[in-house]
Every structure is written in structure tokens, then in C-alpha cells.
Amino acid sequence: MMTSTSGLAERIAAVQAAVDRAIARAGRDPASVTLVAVSKTVDREAVDEAYALGLRHFGENRVQEATAKFASPLPADATLHLVGHLQTNKVRSAVALFDLVESVDRPSLVDALEKEAARAGRLVPVVLQVNVAREPQKAGCAPEDAAALLAQLRRCPHLSPRGLMTIAPLEADPERTRPVFRALRELRDALTRDLSEVDLGVLSMGMTNDYAIAIEEGATHVRIGRAVFAG
Ligand SMILES: *Cc1c(COP(=O)(O)O)cnc(C)c1O
């Protein structure tokens, strides 16, 4: 784990400036994109420093590690996102810790989340992870399975579907990720057209390598780890 956070203010400012440039290029509202700082590689001290510098959204990918890291909770105005694969046997801990689960990708996980959210007396906001590029090693449902999962989510009184998430393939030329992000947005638009009364406002897409392209394609949440936390 990295303990030195020197230069964090400069890195956050640089990322924010690049985010703002992408928003301007796309002619979008500056308030429409949220920076989620993925803190999975850094310790709590770095998260607290990022919070002090104004960041409010943090992403973690492992339930157990995150539970230890946030044993002392973040201030109430911070939002903790689960962005990693969620095993069914970790759902109870995930519901206890995370404000929002971005990695919902299979029927058994929806069932487990509903059961634990009900038990905790919570309404848990969730995002469907879609494996747009159909990479065999990656989590996420197939695009053609998203509608059925969404229908299942809507039958769950303790889960609140908010949108879609994807991880683009790692490309040397980030421009090559554009069709993946565009496809996620088009899938969201199609699902919104087909289902009444569902607000899929969240498009969580874009990481350190490709967030500018994702913003141009409509990302509302960019999940950035290395550009924020790694020197
Ligand atoms: C690690 C991770 C990120 C951040 O990746 P960087 O390349 O460090 O910006 C974003 N999303 C998910 C799901 C991750 O696991």
C-alpha cells in the first residue's frame, strides 16, 4: 500500500482539469460528471487526504479490505462505491458498508442483495455491470441479458437500479474504447425506452486510460484510480 500522498493535490487538480476539458469538448453540463476516486491501492490516510482536498466519491473493489479500511466511517457526505466483483458470500458485508453497488451482473447476486438489503432495512442503489466488449476474463452481464436483470431488479423492493457500468478493454490507443462506451450509452437509451418509470441516469464508464473518451460518450461517473493516487 502506498503511504506517501505527496502530490495528491496536484494530481487531483490535473485530473479535474482534464475532466473539465472533456466536458467542454462534449458541450456537456459540468455538474453532470462525478469523479469517483478509486482508492483500492491506497491506505486510509490517502483517502482522508483526498476527502480533505474536496473529493466525495470513493471506489473500492474488495469488500473485506474496504471493511477494514473504513472501520471508522467516512464523513456522512462521502459516498462509497463498490466497483469490484461481488461474491454472494460477501453481500451482507457489502450492504453494511457501501452506499452504492456498481457490480451487479447476475440473477443470484440480485437475489442475495435483495435479501440482505431487506434484512438491513435499506434501499440499496445499484448499477448493472455490462461486459460490453465480451471479454471472457471480465465480470459483467452480456448486453442481451441486461433487460432481464433490470426487470428482476425492479421486482426487488429494497434495490434501486440507477444505471449501467462497464470496463473497457485496455487499449494502447484510448480512442479504440469509444465504441464500447457508445454501446453502453445506446444500451441504456434502449432500456430506458422499453421500460417506463425507470431512471437509468448513471453511466459509470472511464478509468485512468480512457476517461476523457468516456466523458465525450456520456459518462456520468468516471472511476479513476492511478491518475489520482499513484504518483
Ligand atoms: C481499479 C479500477 C478502476 C480504476 O482504474 P485506474 O486505471 O487505476 O484508473 C476503475 N474501475 C474498476 C472497476 C477498477 O477495478
In-domain check, residue 138: yes
Kindly give the distance from the C-alpha atom of residue 183 to the centroid of ligand 1, in angstroms, as a whole number: 20
Q: What is the dihedral of CA 98, 100, 106, 111, to 10 degrees?
A: 70
Q: How many helices (H) and strands (E) are present in the chain, helices listed first?
A: 9, 8
In-domain check, residue 1: no
pLDDT exceeds cutoff 60 at 3? no
Mutate to test the pocket of ligand 1, among 223, 226, 228 (most ligand atoms within 8 A of CB): 223
In-domain check, residue 2: no
Residue 123 in 3-state DSSP? coil
pLDDT exceeds cutoff 90 at 2? no
Residue closest via CA to ligand 1's atom 11 equals 223
Domains of the chain: total: 1
Residue 40 CB–ligand 1 contact under 6 Å: yes
Find the mean pLDDT for residues 128-145. Answer: 97
- CA distance to 7, 12, 188, per residue, from 17 (Å): 15, 8, 27
pLDDT exceeds cutoff 80 at 4? no
pTM of the model: 0.96
In-domain check, residue 105: yes
| Chain mean pLDDT for the chain | 96
Which three cell numbers, joined as nine digits, stand for 114? 435483495
Which three cell numbers, joined as nine digits, stand for 144? 442481451
Please report the DSSP string for 37-75 in residue order. Answer: EE-TTB-HHHHHHHHHTT--EEEES-HHHHHHHTSSPPP
pLDDT exceeds cutoff 50 at 1? no
In-domain check, residue 139: yes
Task: Give the pLDDT of residue 47.
Answer: 98
21-79 per-position pLDDT tens digit: 999 999 999 999 999 999 999 999 999 999 999 999 999 999 999 999 999 999 999 99
Shortest-distance atom of ligand 1 to CA 224: 9
pLDDT exceeds cutoff 60 at 222? yes
Lookup result for grid cell 434484512: 119
Task: Give the pLDDT of residue 196.
Answer: 75
Where residue 158 sits, what CATH number does that domain have? 3.20.20.10
In-domain check, residue 65: yes
| Spatial distance between the Cα atoms of 224 and 215, rounded to a whole number of angstroms | 12
Task: Give the pLDDT of residue 231.
Answer: 59
Kindly give the distance from the C-alpha atom of residue 165 to the centroid of ligand 1, in angstroms, as a whole number: 12
158-187 per-position pLDDT tens digit: 999 999 999 999 999 999 999 999 999 999
In-domain check, residue 3: no
Range of the domain at 56: 8-229
Task: Give the pLDDT of residue 198.
Answer: 83
In-domain check, residue 204: yes
